[in-house]
Amino acid sequence: MSGRRVLVVAITVAALLAGVGASLALGTIDVPLREVIDSLLGRAEEGPAKQIILQLRLPRTVDAILVGAALGVAGALLQGALGNPLASPDVIGVTAGSGFGAILILLAFPGSIALLPVGALVFGLTAATLVFVVAWIGPDGGGAGRLILAGIAIAALFAAGTTGLMTAYPDRVQSAVFFLAGGLVSDGWDEMKVVWPYFAVGFVLAVSLIRPLDRLALGDDVAASLGTRPRLIRLGAGGAAALLAAASAAIAGLLGFLGLVVPHVIRMAGGTASHGFVVPVSAIGGAALLLAGDTLARTVKPPLELPVGPFMVVIGVPMFLWLLRKAV
Amino acid sequence: MSRAATRAACLAFVLLAAALAAPATADAPKRIVALTPFSANTLAALGVKPIAIGQTLGGDANFAPSLRRVRTLALAHPNGPNMEQLASLRPGLVLSSPTWTRGNRTMRNLDMRVEVPEPLTVLDMYERIEDIAAMVDRERGGRRLVARIKREISRATRALKSRPRVMLVLGVGRTPYVFLPNSWGGYIMQLAGARLVDANAESRSGFARISDEAIVDADPDVIIGVPHARAEDLDGIRDYMRSNEIWKLTQAGQENRIYVWGDDALLQANLDVGSTISRVRTRFLKNR
């Protein structure tokens, strides 16, 4: 690995560690660092401080790490599989589908709020499945162009459904704004218990796709001559990205920006498009970015906790534009 | 009986009498957080001071004077209160709202006792008051409070001279919603003698989106606008309601009977039902 890539890995790992530290140590209530450490090591006495660290901040930190990593990986997989720099979970309809599922629960069944992650997951995966089915059937199915166009159409369908729900239940729309803007919530481990298997399968699939995606980057014909099946790789990458993005939406709402930008930043900073580098480092970078954004979102105007989406954009866009300018 | 035995009997009698006279507060929660104006004001009326009360972001809820110095927790979606802030208060009981369903689940996960005694209409308010009174071991006070409110309502609803057709319009920004009979304000309006005009809308939430055209078509005798917005935006919405050219096409507009309500007494549950009914009748329905 070149010195530049080692430096990028070192910086992202350092950012991740700093993010974890900040996420655990900072919040509305001042908890002395000593008590934070004691709580994590199981040495703290029972009380509010221990409860805040172990039942509120720790699950939220883990949520941020997993969601950030998942979206970074999902973006890297899709950009690699579709050969399109604009690819992100939005493109395969997952974001719109998850949004519809969550808004359906929030607005039509507010008494069943526990079903929110299930709704986001089910409809996110349904949208992705529809996209794949539409893109794969008929002659010349499975091409990147068809997949993207099918994704745009299905996403529009679910977005229209979401708008319809918001029109039907206008008095409850306020409760959905936080989800649509994207944000983590201090609510313990409940949602993670529902979605962790989807993260696990998505990450395992992503790791198994690293080499095939590198071959696919050489072009479909070359990849096929090397024994790789381009359509199958695209399907696998799309499936993994759908699992990761739907599980992320179930926990943190709609944070499409992260999946789009982080892989680009990593690719430009590392000076390589190798998936062996881009996929894992996007995971670390995505986690670090979401941790930073979330810590800002809940400490900038305490006790209010603001949606994290805009904060990630504030942090990520200048970095992205700076790298883009250098790359050009 | 010996002197010692007499003393012992007297002592036992005094101890027994003291035990019976003292309020049975052993199981009553000491640290109560009331996240809604209704629960906070009910506690205040029962002589119980919560350690914190909730106030929605940009909200301007009316609280009893005895709650003025009580700590306020800002409430915002999706959880309601900030969970770290709430946990740091170590509440023994949280009186919450169905609006914060997600937050209520988190509070329970944090081992807090959470109750949601929020009435939708005046009809279930009495039961909710008695529920809260039972939670804080003030059953007698609860019964007295219910009786007082019933008396006030009875006084306020006497001698209805007319029953005008009234449309109660909630203005969320410039978007109108009609109050339905199953809303807090809609029910109060009927107690005040209004025939509530709801343009045949239905909604379990008690409010339904309505167009200005539907308001003109319903042609009420009286329109009462209730602005719902951040405190700094209220004046603008009041002006918009008063000067709405389309509403002026109705009977209410023709007879200069378009009014704007000033506080949250028609929007959310509160204990001053009798005085609210009196204000509605005197200022707007003119049916005394």
Q: Look at the block and give the residue holding tokens 């009927």.
A: B190
Please tell me the distance from the alpha carbon of residue B199 to that of residue B191, in angstroms, as a whole number.
19
- Residue B188 CB-density burial (10 A; 0-12 exposed, 13-18 middle, 19+ buried): buried
Say what the pLDDT of residue A143 is: 77
Write out chain A residues lying below 8 Å of B77, CB-based. 174-175, 177-178
Domain boundaries, chain A: 3-327
pLDDT band at A223 (very low <50, low <70, confident <90, very high): confident
Do A175 and B77 lie within an 8 Å CB cutoff? yes
Q: In chain A, which residue's Cα lies nearest the Cα of B89?
A: A48
Coil/strand/helix, residue A52: helix
What are the φ/ψ torsions at residue B160 (nearest 5 degrees)? -75, 120
Please tell me the distance from the alpha carbon of residue B151 to that of residue B36, in angstroms, as a whole number.
24
Q: Look at the block and give the residue holding tokens 């941020």.
A: A64
Say what the pLDDT of residue B11 is: 54
Stretch (H or E) spanning B235? helix B234-242
Say what the pLDDT of residue B16 is: 46
Which residues 6+ apart lie within 8 Å of B153 measured at CB?
A: B122, B191, B273, B274, B277
CB B243 within 8 A of CB B158: no
Write out chain A residues lying below 8 Å of B57, CB-based. 304
Pick A3-327's CATH classification: 1.20.1250.20, 1.10.287.3510, 1.20.1090.10, 1.10.3470.10. 1.10.3470.10
Tell me the pairing of strands B165-172 and B175-179: antiparallel
Both structure tokens of A147: 């997949």
Helices (H), chain A: 3-25, 33-40, 48-51, 58-82, 94-103, 116-136, 144-168, 174-181, 190-208, 210-216, 220-225, 230-252, 256-270, 275-299, 308-327
Chain B touched by A188 (CB under 8 Å): yes
Give the number of other Cβ atoms within 10 Å of residue B197's Cβ. Answer: 24
Cα B124–Cα B127–Cα B129 angle in degrees, nearest 5: 105
Distance from A13 to chain B by nearest Cα, in Å?
28
Half-sphere exposure of residue A235: CA atoms within 13 angstroms, side-chain side: 15
Peptide bond into A303 cis (omega under 30): yes
CB A124 within 8 A of CB A71: no
Distance from A211 to chain B by nearest Cα, in Å?
42
Say what the pLDDT of residue B20 is: 41
Q: In chain B, which residue's Cα lies nearest the Cα of A113?
A: B102
Q: Which residues of B touch A (CB under 8 A)?
A: 57, 73-74, 76-79, 81-85, 87-90, 98-99, 101-103, 105-106, 109-111, 172, 175, 177, 203, 205, 207, 209
Higher pLDDT among residues A209 and A135, named by residue: A209
**Residue-level pLDDT, tens digit, chain B, 288 residues:** 456 666 655 555 544 444 444 444 557 888 999 999 999 999 999 999 999 999 987 777 789 999 999 999 999 988 999 999 999 999 999 999 998 988 999 999 999 999 999 998 898 999 999 999 999 999 999 999 999 999 999 999 998 889 999 999 998 878 889 999 999 999 999 999 999 998 888 887 788 888 889 999 999 999 999 988 777 788 888 888 888 999 999 999 999 999 999 888 998 899 999 999 999 999 999 988
Say what the pLDDT of residue B142 is: 97
DSSP letter at B80?
A: B
Write out chain B residues lying below 8 Å of A175, CB-based. 77-78, 99
What number is the average pLDDT over the span A153-158?
95
- What sign does the CA torsion over B28, B29, B35, B37 have? positive
Q: How far is CA B201 from CA A33, A243, B168, in A?
A: 56, 41, 13
Q: Look at the block and give the residue holding tokens 């992705």.
A: A128
Task: Evaluate if residue A317 carries a pLDDT over 90.
Answer: no
Tell me the pairing of strands B71-75 and B114-115: unpaired
Say what the pLDDT of residue A313 is: 80
Give the number of other Cβ atoms within 10 Å of residue A314's Cβ. Answer: 11
pLDDT band at A312 (very low <50, low <70, confident <90, very high): confident
The rounded radius of gyration (Å) of the Cα atoms in chain A is: 20
Coil/strand/helix, residue A175: helix
Work out the widest C-alpha separation in chain B, in whole angstroms. 93
Please tell me the distance from the alpha carbon of residue B144 to that of residue B268, in angstroms, as a whole number.
22
Say what the pLDDT of residue B15 is: 47
Chain B touched by A302 (CB under 8 Å): yes
Q: In chain A, which residue's Cα lies nearest the Cα of B206?
A: A171
Please state the pTM of the whole predicted model: 0.85
Best CA proximity match to B97, nearest among B51, B128, B64, B123: B128
Do B74 and A304 lie within an 8 Å CB cutoff? yes
Which residues 6+ apart lie within 8 Å of A250 measured at CB?
A: A98, A102, A116, A117, A118, A120, A121, A124, A191, A194, A195
DSSP letter at B256?
A: T
Write out chain A residues lying below 8 Å of B172, CB-based. 170-171
Q: Which of A52, A189, A300 to mutate to test the interface with B (most CBs of B within 10 A)?
A: A52
Q: Which of B84, B101, B179 to mutate to test the interface with A (most CBs of A within 10 A)?
A: B84
Q: In chain A, which residue's Cα lies nearest the Cα of B172?
A: A171
CB A192 within 8 A of CB A63: yes
Please tell me the distance from the alpha carbon of residue A25 to that of residue A31, in angstroms, as a whole number.
7
What is the percent of chain A with per-residue pLDDT over 70, rounded to a whole number?
Answer: 99
Please tell me the distance from the alpha carbon of residue B163 to that of residue B286, in angstroms, as a whole number.
10
Distance from A293 to chain B by nearest Cα, in Å?
18
Do A304 and B110 lie within an 8 Å CB cutoff? no
Please tell me the distance from the alpha carbon of residue A182 to that of residue A225, in angstroms, as a whole number.
43
What domains are there in chain B, each with its CATH number?
A: 32-155 (3.40.50.1980), 165-285 (3.40.50.1980)
Task: Identify which of B88, B109, B207 has the shortest CB distance to residue A48.
Answer: B88
